[in-house]
Amino acid sequence: MYPLGMTRPLAVAIAVAALAAPSVAHAASLTTNPTKSCYRSGEELHFIGDDFTPSNQVSLTRDGTLISQFAADAAGRFDVSLRFILDQHSERRTYMAADSTNPGLSASVPVMVSSVGVDLFPRNGPASRRFRIRARGFTTGRTLWAHVIHKKSKRHVRIGRLKGACHNLSVRRRLLSRSARLGQHRIQFDTFRRYRTNRPVKKTFSIRVVRGGR
């Protein structure tokens, strides 16, 4: 019976050691909803945190600057919304949530933000000239369209495929025909093939066609 007597104490010792092992603490987390590779200016998203101190204050900062303070719920979770504002270009930001009682409870998430814009030039010249078009931040679709409106006539021009995380584009396109009528032409850039004035994401220009040029 000697082998059996040696085996049992060993098995008991292993079981006790397993029970005595400390539990692993959960790290705080911070995520975004919706999760996207790039957010346009004016867009709202939610920062969702978990495993913070229950019912305790949490600070949200952006690149080290305080944005907001709020309380986690009884389970140590929170859900706060933020609307992005950016006038020009694009930038990468880092948002961090930190527990006010336990500095070790913190989490961060990187976010890319882009303004919505179109650069159109040259602004003067013949009506049939090719325009240099640079667009950014049109995250509502994958194709940029230009709708040229003159009184009751409409001309729809496919500008091109938007590329990259923030849906950017740089091309040369002819927007007005050689026989464009004299007067004011309204040009609306958006990501829809059909023209509607109430598109939530758009950029508009006004071009006046005169005799002998623009």
**Residue 88 shares a structural domain with residue 132:** no
CATH number assigned to the domain comprising residue 195:
2.60.40
Which pLDDT score, from 0 to 100, does residue 207 have? 87
**Residue 32 shares a structural domain with residue 101:** yes
Q: What is the pLDDT along the chain (214 residues), one digit of tens a residue?
A: 545 444 444 333 333 333 333 434 568 999 999 999 999 999 999 999 999 999 999 999 999 999 999 999 999 999 999 999 998 889 999 999 999 988 889 999 999 999 999 999 987 778 888 999 999 999 999 999 999 999 888 999 999 999 999 999 999 999 988 778 888 899 999 999 999 999 989 999 998 887 765 5
**Residue 142 shares a structural domain with residue 91:** no
156 φ, ψ (degrees, to nearest 5):
-115, 120
Which pLDDT score, from 0 to 100, does residue 203 have? 95
Q: Quote the number of domains for the chain.
A: 2
- What is the extent of the structural domain holding 88? 26-114
Which pLDDT score, from 0 to 100, does residue 103 have? 80
For 129-195, the DSSP string reads: PEEEEEEE--TT-SEEEEEEEETTEEEEEEEEE-BTTTTBEEEEEE-S-TTPPSEEEEEEEES-SS-
Residue 38 lies in a domain: yes
Residue 106 lies in a domain: yes
**Residue 135 shares a structural domain with residue 60:** no
Which pLDDT score, from 0 to 100, does residue 205 have? 93
Which pLDDT score, from 0 to 100, does residue 49 have? 95
**Residue 164 shares a structural domain with residue 135:** yes
CATH number assigned to the domain comprising residue 79:
2.60.40.1930
Q: Are 58 and 52 in contact (CB under 8 A)?
A: yes
